[in-house]
């Protein structure tokens, strides 16, 4: 009997010892195993979303706004390597904005100013052009009853359209009347008032330097002639318009430095 009880007691003792060892390894529930001297973290720490998988995301107060980088980022002038910073563009013009005289490159030639008057749509204006090239001015012989002034000696001339600014009229009249000629306006060289049967009209004459390669022959369009300053005196009697046209031509040569 004693022989049987001794093994049984030993078995029970071994089972108890093993059970106690397993409990010591597991520790008590929620036991904290942090660094010595530090207590367990507060309840709810670490923040949800920063811990093991399956945790909820952090509160919205910790999340940056979607689509908005931090204030001041990227730094001013910053660009990725290999890329230049984008230039600052001027603001677009306001709706309905119309070009103003100060928007044009206004030049002055030999004391003559390039005036850009502003007309109302109903303002009647005659634009004449003293075309200068190689020290001469282009004058035209207009048949009777033709042109703005009804024939005789004239400069290139035409009427301004209601929607045009002055420089647009200059370019259009020159191209239409002279078969596509182009040039650079130099200066305003004359003003005159006329009544050609339709009420008072104001004329403005512009000196225009013809776009012409050096030493190229002077072009011709219709019945036109290229007159030097010394030729103008003999042309002043060719019709009622001739004295004014020759005066404007003389001033255009001066504006061009001739």
Asked if residues 46 and 40 have their Cβ atoms less than 8 Å apart, the reply is no
pLDDT over 70 percentage in the chain: 58
Q: What pLDDT, on a 0 to 100 scale, did the predictor assign at position 101?
A: 43
Q: What pLDDT, on a 0 to 100 scale, did the predictor assign at position 156?
A: 94
Q: What pLDDT, on a 0 to 100 scale, did the predictor assign at position 226?
A: 96
pLDDT digits (tens, 9 = 90+) for 214-255: 889 999 988 899 999 999 999 998 888 899 999 999 999 999
Q: Is the pLDDT of residue 67 over 70?
A: no
CA–CA distance, 244 with 205 (Å, rounded to integer): 10
What domains, with CATH codes, occur in the chain? Answer: 120-255 (3.90.79.10)
Average pLDDT over residues 133-157: 89
CA–CA distance, 84 with 82 (Å, rounded to integer): 7
Contacts of 200 (CB under 8 A, 6+ apart): 124, 193, 194
Q: Could you give the C-alpha distances from 212 to 131, 177, 207, 253, in angstroms and in order?
A: 11, 17, 15, 16
Contacts of 23 (CB under 8 A, 6+ apart): none
Confidence of residue 64 (pLDDT cuts 50, 70, 90): very low
Average pLDDT over residues 39-59: 55
Q: Which residues pair with 2 in a beta bridge?
A: none
Segment among 53-67, 98-112, 159-173, 222-236 with least mean pLDDT: 53-67
CA–CA distance, 78 with 168 (Å, rounded to integer): 43
pLDDT digits (tens, 9 = 90+) for 85-134: 444 444 554 554 444 444 444 565 677 888 888 888 778 888 999 999 99
Q: What pLDDT, on a 0 to 100 scale, did the predictor assign at position 5?
A: 59
Q: Is the pLDDT of residue 258 over 80?
A: yes
Q: What pLDDT, on a 0 to 100 scale, did the predictor assign at position 198?
A: 76
Segment among 3-12, 131-140, 154-163 with least mean pLDDT: 3-12
The tokens of 81 are what? 């390597």
CA–CA distance, 258 with 243 (Å, rounded to integer): 20
Q: What pLDDT, on a 0 to 100 scale, did the predictor assign at position 88?
A: 47
pLDDT digits (tens, 9 = 90+) for 1-21: 555 655 666 677 556 565 666
Phi, psi for 195 (deg, rounded to 5): -125, 100
Asked if residues 213 and 219 have their Cβ atoms less than 8 Å apart, the reply is no
Q: What pLDDT, on a 0 to 100 scale, did the predictor assign at position 8?
A: 64
At 128, is the secondary structure helix, strand, or coil?
A: strand
Closest CA to 204 of 161, 153, 164, 166: 166
Asked if residues 73 and 64 have their Cβ atoms less than 8 Å apart, the reply is no
Q: What average pLDDT does the chain have?
A: 75
Residue keyed to tokens 């730094």:
75
């Amino acid at each position: 009997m004693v022989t049987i009880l001794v093994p049984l007691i030993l078995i029970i003792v071994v089972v108890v010892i093993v059970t106690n060892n397993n409990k010591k390894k597991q520790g008590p529930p929620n036991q904290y195993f942090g660094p010595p001297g530090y207590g367990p973290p507060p309840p709810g720490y670490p923040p949800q979303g920063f811990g093991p998988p399956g945790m909820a995301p952090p509160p919205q107060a910790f999340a940056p706004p979607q689509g908005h980088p931090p204030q001041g980022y990227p730094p001013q002038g910053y660009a990725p390597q290999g890329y230049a910073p984008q230039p600052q563009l001027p603001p677009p013009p306001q709706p309905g904005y119309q070009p103003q005289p100060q928007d044009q490159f206004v030049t002055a030639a030999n004391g003559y100013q390039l005036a850009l008057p502003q007309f109302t749509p109903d303002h009647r204006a005659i634009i004449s052009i003293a075309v200068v090239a190689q020290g001469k001015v282009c004058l035209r012989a207009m048949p009777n009853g033709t042109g703005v002034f009804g024939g005789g000696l004239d400069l290139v001339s035409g009427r301004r359209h209601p929607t045009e600014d002055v420089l647009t009229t200059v370019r259009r009249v020159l191209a239409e009347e002279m078969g596509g000629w182009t040039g650079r306006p130099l200066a305003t060289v004359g003003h005159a008032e006329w009544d050609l049967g339709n009420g008072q009209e104001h004329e403005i004459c512009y000196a225009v330097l013809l776009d012409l390669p050096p030493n190229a022959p002077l072009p011709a369009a219709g019945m036109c002639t290229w007159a030097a300053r010394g030729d103008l005196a003999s042309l002043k009697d060719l019709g009622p318009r001739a004295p004014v046209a020759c005066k404007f031509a003389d001033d255009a040569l001066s504006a061009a430095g001739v």
